[in-house]
Amino acid sequence: MVDAVKKWQKSDPQKSLDTWRKLSEANSALETRFNTLSKLAAEHWEAYKGIINSCSMLSGRSKPMNRAKQILLKRCYAKDQVSHAPYG
């Protein structure tokens, strides 16, 4: 597999550099999101646990990222106290 990647890099150096750059950016963005989730879990455990429980109940046709964002906003940033109910 390594040989195939090296061959591809040599055959189209510009495209391979662009692909590696995009992959690196995507990996960095993913790392940032995981760090944010880790911080959320540490600072707002009950809300985080509720979000995870809510997301686990979504169907495959749902848009979990949008739903999770709505739940997060409702639980963490609402004017009222954070709700500890398992669902948003």
Per-domain residue ranges of the chain = 1-42, 44-88
Q: How much is the pTM?
A: 0.53
pLDDT by residue for the chain (88 residues), tens only, comes to 889 988 988 999 999 999 999 999 999 999 998 888 888 889 888 888 887 887 777 666 666 566 666 766 666 655 444 444 343 3
What pLDDT is stored for residue 39 in this prediction?
86
Written as one string, the DSSP assignment of the chain is -HHHHHHHHHH-HHHHHHHHHHHHHHHHHHHHHHHHHHHHHHH-HHHHHHHHHHHHTS-TTS-HHHHHHHHHHHHHH-SSPPP-SS--
